Amino acid sequence: MRPDIHPVSRPVVFRDRAAGTAFLTRSTARSTETVEWEDGAVRPVVDVEISSASHPFYTGTSRVLDTAGRVERFERRYGRTAPRRP
């Protein structure tokens, strides 16, 4: 491998603003803001709008859409097949 072509990977804190949680992982993301982590070290912090802590799919609060009812309603309004164009 060629030296000095890969970005530097370092510990970065990702903070989820919606859930109020933060987690430490390695990343190449850059940030000018810093935060003191639980171990006492000062680490760069990246604020994210959504993560697995606040996403509806992971938290189990997602809604199930009634697609069958919507299709039936459409067929009642417009018929089963679309009319042919002349």
Q: Counting beta carbons within 10 angstroms of the beta carbon of residue 24, is it exposed (0 to 12), middle (13 to 18) or buried (19 or more)?
A: middle
Q: Contact, 52 vs 61, CB < 8 A?
A: no
State the amino acid at position 21 in one-letter form.
T
Q: Indicate the DSSP class of residue 17.
A: T
Average pLDDT value over all residues in the chain: 82
How many Cβ atoms are within 10 Å of 48's Cβ, its own excluded?
Answer: 15
Of residues 66 and 51, more confidently modeled: 51
pTM comes to 0.62
Helix runs in the chain, H state only: 56-59, 67-78
Q: What's the whole-number mean pLDDT along residues 47-53?
A: 82
pLDDT of res. 14: 94
What percent of the chain shows pLDDT beyond 90?
36
